[in-house]
Chain A
Amino acid sequence: MDPGFPVLSLLIFLPLLGVVLIALLPGKHTPTDWLVQNAPGNAVDYPKWIALGIALATLIISLVMFILFDRSAAGFQFVDEFDWISAEAVGFNVKYAFGVDGLSMPLVFLTAILSVVAVLVSWRVNLRTKEYFAWLLVLETSVLGVFTSLDLIMFFLFWELELVPMFLLISIWGSGNRNYSALKFVLYTVFGSAFMLVGFLALGVAADTFDIREIRHDAVAAAFLPAPAIFAFIMIAFAIKLPVVPVHTWLPDAHTDAPTAVSVLLAGVLLKMGGYGILRLLFTLMPDVGADADLALAIIGVVSIVYGAIVTIRQTDLKRLIAYSSVSHMGFVLLGVSALGVTGLSGAAMQLVTHGLITGMLFVMVGLVYDRTHTRQISDMSGLAHHIPLLGIGMVFAGLAGLGLPALAGFVAEITIFLGAFESQTAAVSVALTGVLLAAAYILWALQRTFFGPKDDNWAHLPDANHWSEFTIIAGLMALIVLLGVYPSVVMDLLEMGVEPIVESIETVVSAGAGGG
């Protein structure tokens, strides 16, 4: 699909335009501003309305792209490129290049949806709203950039850009031990990025280009580092981002102390950058190394699934519990990838999308509950469903989706991963099955202790969901989760299209290796 119009650039940089607008227009928080002083009753809060408008506009653009996306053509569509840096002499050529294929299109769409959710869930934020919504939009741009970059350097730039808004959003608008958590998040990511950059430079210099489409895996042999080292270096960054055990401990801290919208985006799309990177970069550029690493990936995946779930069960903070469950769920991505087949990889990609929606919704629900109770300690809550039944419906629904109930999105991804991976990773899948039981245990037990049980009069005054923004988020996410659960083809067909070339290149190198060896 070639629209003859740089639609992707528009999509990616539209949020930045929103940032400019927010910066130029007055915000409600500046009472000295003459415009606001004169506005009737200070009723209009420009930043959030601008942010909502921009987020909706990106959602509409990405929806149009999603619909216009040619489901019969392989490869990248809506490509938008020109040469940016040409230093032929030293072999450093960087392109400004964006494009989407079957793998990235659903993730772009997911990012646009969750950005709208993030703005809506922040509707009651009062502190420094101008900066807050501006940084949220910067975050959206950076994530969209990561998912659509076709050049390693561009990918890296957007990957790093995301740190700035995240650090500020957590450390200014967060709660609890927010400075520690924000710094921990940044340090972990930067630690991984350093390795990733070395890997990218090694790849790009060896291949004479940083264009993902043009790097051939045989060119990697000429790099100044051995291919497995490059693979491992880049893997460190993605493993931290995903995250997998044992580099996961930044996640619960960052999630717990982040404001709700940031938790939604962090769980919903930022973690997906790790899974996306593994599929898009590691397995596309170095299928031979990836094929050799399958057992290691499966083991790391299973350890994350089972160990993550066991640690989740002991959590006493509701938000931290959901955060730990992400570690377990992201292990499924590695397990699916380790299958090295279309089914397993499609399942892994599907898990990225479905987990984004489901955990996004879980964090929304926990955030809305926290807005009311001002506590996240599970032991402080009891019988909330009596007082806030509508939020109770949302929470139970999201929880059931999280434990992989059929007819909801998560089941489709998990069953596809299991069916795809069993043949090549029999032992790993057999162990991973227990993750399904453990997920049910931590979700249902948490629900039992918070929403069920006797009435607690402490909470009698709590207002239920009562704002249009809350109804919109809950109903919208529920509808999407059910849609993907009963009719997964909407997304699965695209993802399948996206992973097919990856599997083809894996099969080519594996059969060549078998023939040559």
Chain B
Amino acid sequence: MSETIFWAILFLPLTAFALAGVSALNQNLQRRIPEWDPRYPSAFKPIADQFCGPRLASTPLIIALAVAFVLALINLIDSIGLRGLPLDIATHQLFTAGDLTVNLGVRIDGLTSVMLVIVTGVSLLVQVYSTGYMDGDHGYRRYFAFMALFTTSMIGLVLADNLLMLFAFWELVGLTSYLLIGFWFHRPAAAAAAKKAFLVTRLGDLGMLAALILIYSKTGTMDIAEINALADHGAEAGMFALNGLMIGQTAMTLFGLGLIAGAIGKSAQFPLHIWLPDAMEGPTPVSALVHSATMVAAGVYLLARFFPVIHASSTASDFIAWIGAGTALGAAILALVQVDIKRVLAYSTISQLAYMMFAIGVGGYVAAVFHLMTHAFFKALLFLGSGSVNHSTNTFDMRKMGGLRTMMPITFATFVVGTLSLAGIIPFSGFWSKDEILIYAWDNNKGVFVLGLLAAGLTAAYMVRAVYMTFFGQYQGGEQVAPGEHGNDDPSHPHESPRSMTTPLIILAVISVVSGFLTFGGEFQTWVYGALPHPHDGSFHWSWGIFLGSTALAVGSGFAAFVFMHHRDRVRSWGVGGIWPIPEAQRFATNLFYLDALGENLLARRVFYGWIARSSAWFDATVVDGVVNHAWREGLTVAGAARFVQNGWVQAGTISIGLGGMIIWIAVVLF
């Protein structure tokens, strides 16, 4: 594969962004200009409408992604042939400043190839779905422009061959996430959620930025392959040294922890997970693509990319293993008490990403990448399914749904496939990847294993609860369209979504079943190991004990949840409120363990804004500026006194000169 192909994959959606941008600009110009400027030639209008209409926003993007997907697939086949080994592609110098050289280049190996297929494939399906979901929305063109920019940034992120380029695209996906969460910016909640997402992830990015600066100043390189080779080489007497590069063990650990901080922010892990549930304010296809399948997985990708670095420090790998295991369980508990279907899926995403995180921590590099892939498909499927439900009920509140299985059969069937996959039921794809992670955890860290296993049990329970509330029982009538919003005019009669939306659901459902079979034979493992400095053959892992244990737990808790939901009223009459037997525990969970309140209300609002920033601003206005103003006024007084001296009275002038002369003379004599 020549390098041009990869730049083409990057620039195809970028071109689509430019075209969608033209389309969106034209929409605004058309809307505004003729009103005040009669000189705007009205002859342009039909031409502009014909060539710069809404289709200019979506069609080029879908074509670009289809081509990019085919290219990614061809590359995938090539890469499998090469056993995932990196292609030899030289980097390009972008600019220099003294010793600093910033490069731009692509790194293609097994890991990149699988990520490229996931990103272009899921994005393509989501864009097709979006043409149906966003149809009629005022911001249709802007939506596709943002989506195109997002896909470009995400592709750049996985292609990057050095950490600075990776960081640049990392920030750009953060930006597009901000724009897409705040897409309906007229909703205060959406505008606030967008800002929160950007700031919370940027807090993590500070760690990544620090890591980038640290590794550059210690080793003088930002090249991913060189850093990994150095870390993989191992430390002797507390120093990593290879090919003239040197870095101490402590610095390497700090570098790893900095990367982990970035990953915790982007992949919404404790304690920076608080932005992801709020991010559900964005349009649902955005949640499917950005906030479950691809962007939030970038944190996992980053740690997989730098797996030798994380692995070179037991502090770093233990840290991420425990953070991941704790988040997996905590987020699963929170998913169990949500009434908004997207929030259930959001906490589920946090929990599943946490699985991948602790997999990296316990050394399950391939298992993490495998779960990243299967999760991308089945979670995109679930989110698109929830969007399909919303398309006809106008709500995400599961208490207003129910009984939709007969009215929306395709959505129901595909959603169940996604649920089974997420719950880890054999033979759906999620089973294979989740079990592989649990096998690694069992071998390396029993504590992490126990937390992961408990989370697996809860996963089945919260998904069965969500499916029951949405698709079983009596239909609760949905919600009327809010004034000024766009939606189904008759929510009392839900209907199946248009074909543009159900087709991607069916395709994703099929992939969610079959993608797990890649694990047989160990080919997938070998291919992903090809990205490491020391590639080695992989193999298919199987443990009867873990299979039986995790399946029994999932089926058991899923069944229990079903029974509980089915007999909700009778259970409640026994005095049990909610799904948790203890009311205090229920309240603790519905308040999200008070973590949002702590982070946002107390630390950000009270301590920082209300106290630190306020006192600084007071200090600036009263002390820094106040002193100057005071001196100024005093100066005027002195000037007034001086005016008294300078009154044109010649004798006074003479006396002054005499006095001054005497003072100077005394000074000269004395010193």
Which residues on A are within 8 Å of B, measured CB to CB?
187, 245-246, 248-249, 307, 310-311, 313-315, 341-347, 350, 383, 385-386, 389-390, 400, 405-407, 411-412, 415-416, 418-420, 422-423, 429-430, 433-434, 436-437, 440-441, 444-445, 447-448, 451-455, 463-464, 466, 487-489, 492-493, 495-496, 503
Q: Could you tell me if A419 and B210 are in contact, using CB atoms closer than 8 angstroms?
A: no
Q: Could you tell me if B195 and A310 are in contact, using CB atoms closer than 8 angstroms?
A: no
Q: Which partner residue on chain A sits nearest B185 by CB separation?
A: A452
Q: Which partner residue on chain A sits nearest B98 by CB separation?
A: A342
Q: Could you tell me if A405 and B175 are in contact, using CB atoms closer than 8 angstroms?
A: yes
In addition to A350-B97, A389-B32, 13 A-B residue pairs with Cβ atoms within 8 Å of each other are A313-B613, A389-B28, A406-B168, A411-B171, A412-B95, A423-B217, A444-B178, A445-B195, A452-B185, A452-B186, A454-B187, A463-B36, A495-B97
Q: Could you tell me if A400 and B28 are in contact, using CB atoms closer than 8 angstroms?
A: no
Q: Which partner residue on chain B sits nearest A250 by CB separation?
A: B628
Please name 12 pairs of A and B residues whose Cβ atoms are closer than 8 Å in the assembled complex, sorted by A: A313-B609, A343-B98, A347-B97, A389-B28, A419-B213, A419-B216, A423-B217, A437-B203, A452-B191, A452-B194, A453-B185, A464-B28
The answer to whether A385 and B185 touch (CB under 8 A), given A246-B624, A343-B100, A436-B202, is yes
Q: Could you tell me if A492 and B186 are in contact, using CB atoms closer than 8 angstroms?
A: no
Q: How large is the interface on B (under 10, 10 to 19, 20 to 34, 35 or more residues)?
A: 35 or more
The answer to whether A492 and B96 touch (CB under 8 A), given A437-B202, A466-B37, is yes
Binds A, one of B239-247, B367-375, B383-391, B614-622: B614-622
Q: Could you tell me if B195 and A448 are in contact, using CB atoms closer than 8 angstroms?
A: yes
* Cβ contacts under 8 Å, B175 to chain A: 400, 405
Q: How many cross-chain pairs have Cβ atoms below 8 Å apart between A and B?
A: 150
Q: Could you tell me if A419 and B217 are in contact, using CB atoms closer than 8 angstroms?
A: yes
* Cβ contacts under 8 Å, A487 to chain B: 94-95
The answer to whether A437 and B168 touch (CB under 8 A), given A249-B628, A448-B192, is no
Q: Could you tell me if A310 and B186 are in contact, using CB atoms closer than 8 angstroms?
A: no
Complex: how many Å from CA A503 to CA B209? 26
Judge whether B560 is part of the interface by a CB distance below 8 angstroms: no
Judge whether B71 is part of the interface by a CB distance below 8 angstroms: no
The answer to whether A492 and B191 touch (CB under 8 A), given A249-B620, A249-B625, is no
* Cβ contacts under 8 Å, B182 to chain A: 452
* Cβ contacts under 8 Å, B168 to chain A: 406-407, 411
The answer to whether A406 and B171 touch (CB under 8 A), given A342-B99, A347-B97, is yes
Q: Could you tell me if B198 and A440 are in contact, using CB atoms closer than 8 angstroms?
A: yes
Judge whether B612 is part of the interface by a CB distance below 8 angstroms: yes
Judge whether B199 is part of the interface by a CB distance below 8 angstroms: yes
Q: Which partner residue on chain B sits nearest A347 by CB separation?
A: B97
Q: Which of B40-90 contact A (CB under 8 A)?
A: none
Q: Could you tell me if B97 and A405 are in contact, using CB atoms closer than 8 angstroms?
A: no
Which residues on B are within 8 Å of A, measured CB to CB?
25, 28-29, 32-33, 35-37, 94-100, 164, 167-169, 171-172, 175, 178, 182, 185-188, 191-192, 194-195, 198-199, 202-203, 206, 209-210, 213-214, 216-217, 609, 612-614, 616-617, 620, 624-625, 628, 632
* Cβ contacts under 8 Å, B612 to chain A: 310
Nearest-neighbour CB distance to chain A for B99, whole angstroms, equals 6
Complex: how many Å from CA A115 to CA B169? 34
Contact among A411, A422, A437 with B199 in the assembled complex (CB-CB below 8 Å) = A437
Complex: how many Å from CA A434 to CA B306? 25
Q: Could you tell me if A430 and B210 are in contact, using CB atoms closer than 8 angstroms?
A: yes
* Cβ contacts under 8 Å, A422 to chain B: 213-214, 216-217
Complex: how many Å from CA A445 to CA B195? 7
Complex: how many Å from CA A389 to CA B209? 33
Closest 3 A-B residue pairs measured CB to CB?
A342-B98, A406-B168, A343-B98
Q: Could you tell me if A390 and B32 are in contact, using CB atoms closer than 8 angstroms?
A: yes
The answer to whether A466 and B33 touch (CB under 8 A), given A341-B98, A444-B198, is yes
Complex: how many Å from CA A249 to CA B624? 7
* Cβ contacts under 8 Å, B32 to chain A: 389-390, 463-464, 466
Q: Could you tell me if B95 and A488 are in contact, using CB atoms closer than 8 angstroms?
A: yes
Q: Could you tell me if A311 and B617 are in contact, using CB atoms closer than 8 angstroms?
A: yes
Q: Could you tell me if B613 and A496 are in contact, using CB atoms closer than 8 angstroms?
A: no
* Cβ contacts under 8 Å, A451 to chain B: 185
Q: Which partner residue on chain A sits nearest B210 by CB separation?
A: A433
Nearest-neighbour CB distance to chain A for B667, whole angstroms, equals 16
* Cβ contacts under 8 Å, B216 to chain A: 419, 422
* Cβ contacts under 8 Å, A466 to chain B: 32-33, 36-37
Nearest-neighbour CB distance to chain B for A370, whole angstroms, equals 19
* Cβ contacts under 8 Å, A433 to chain B: 206, 209-210
Q: Which partner residue on chain A sits nearest B29 by CB separation?
A: A390
Q: Which partner residue on chain B sits nearest A442 by CB separation?
A: B613
Among A346, A415, A423, find the residue whose CB has the most chain B CB atoms closer than 10 A: A415
Contact among A307, A415, A448 with B164 in the assembled complex (CB-CB below 8 Å) = A415
* Cβ contacts under 8 Å, A464 to chain B: 28, 32
Nearest-neighbour CB distance to chain A for B197, whole angstroms, equals 10
Complex: how many Å from CA A464 to CA B182? 21
Q: Could you tell me if B206 and A440 are in contact, using CB atoms closer than 8 angstroms?
A: no
Complex: how many Å from CA A407 to CA B35? 35
Contact among A187, A436, A454, A463 with B186 in the assembled complex (CB-CB below 8 Å) = A454
* Cβ contacts under 8 Å, A249 to chain B: 620, 624-625, 628
Q: Which partner residue on chain A sits nearest B625 by CB separation?
A: A249
Q: Could you tell me if B98 and A496 are in contact, using CB atoms closer than 8 angstroms?
A: yes
Q: Could you tell me if B97 and A418 are in contact, using CB atoms closer than 8 angstroms?
A: no
Nearest-neighbour CB distance to chain A for B474, whole angstroms, equals 35
Complex: how many Å from CA A455 to CA B35? 20
Nearest-neighbour CB distance to chain A for B629, whole angstroms, equals 9
Nearest-neighbour CB distance to chain B for A58, whole angstroms, equals 28
Nearest-neighbour CB distance to chain A for B189, whole angstroms, equals 10
Q: Could you tell me if A489 and B94 are in contact, using CB atoms closer than 8 angstroms?
A: yes
* Cβ contacts under 8 Å, B609 to chain A: 313-314
Q: Could you tell me if A492 and B97 are in contact, using CB atoms closer than 8 angstroms?
A: yes
Nearest-neighbour CB distance to chain A for B271, whole angstroms, equals 16
Nearest-neighbour CB distance to chain B for A88, whole angstroms, equals 29
Q: Could you tell me if A444 and B199 are in contact, using CB atoms closer than 8 angstroms?
A: yes
Q: Could you tell me if A441 and B199 are in contact, using CB atoms closer than 8 angstroms?
A: yes
Complex: how many Å from CA A463 to CA B178? 27
Complex: how many Å from CA A429 to CA B209? 11
* Cβ contacts under 8 Å, B202 to chain A: 436-437, 440
Complex: how many Å from CA A441 to CA B182? 15
The answer to whether A444 and B624 touch (CB under 8 A), given A422-B213, A437-B202, A464-B28, is no
Q: Could you tell me if B185 and A429 are in contact, using CB atoms closer than 8 angstroms?
A: no
Complex: how many Å from CA A269 to CA B32? 34
* Cβ contacts under 8 Å, B187 to chain A: 454
Q: Could you tell me if B206 and A346 are in contact, using CB atoms closer than 8 angstroms?
A: no
* Cβ contacts under 8 Å, B624 to chain A: 245-246, 248-249
Nearest-neighbour CB distance to chain A for B100, whole angstroms, equals 5
Complex: how many Å from CA A248 to CA B621? 11
Complex: how many Å from CA A454 to CA B187? 6
Q: Which partner residue on chain B sits nearest A445 by CB separation?
A: B195
Complex: how many Å from CA A445 to CA B203? 15
* Cβ contacts under 8 Å, A447 to chain B: 195
Among B32, B33, B169, B210, find the residue whose CB has the most chain A CB atoms closer than 10 A: B32
Nearest-neighbour CB distance to chain B for A403, whole angstroms, equals 9
* Cβ contacts under 8 Å, A347 to chain B: 97
Complex: how many Å from CA A466 to CA B31? 12
* Cβ contacts under 8 Å, B620 to chain A: 249, 307, 311
Nearest-neighbour CB distance to chain A for B15, whole angstroms, equals 15
Q: Could you tell me if A406 and B167 are in contact, using CB atoms closer than 8 angstroms?
A: yes
* Cβ contacts under 8 Å, B192 to chain A: 448
Q: Which partner residue on chain B sits nearest A423 by CB separation?
A: B217
Among A245, A315, A419, find the residue whose CB has the most chain B CB atoms closer than 10 A: A419
Nearest-neighbour CB distance to chain B for A339, whole angstroms, equals 9
Nearest-neighbour CB distance to chain B for A351, whole angstroms, equals 12
Complex: how many Å from CA A249 to CA B617? 12
Q: Could you tell me if A343 and B37 are in contact, using CB atoms closer than 8 angstroms?
A: no
* Cβ contacts under 8 Å, B616 to chain A: 307, 310-311, 314
Q: Which partner residue on chain B sits nearest A500 by CB separation?
A: B98
Contact among B213, B217, B617 with A314 in the assembled complex (CB-CB below 8 Å) = B617
Q: Which partner residue on chain A sits nearest B192 by CB separation?
A: A448
* Cβ contacts under 8 Å, B194 to chain A: 444, 448, 452
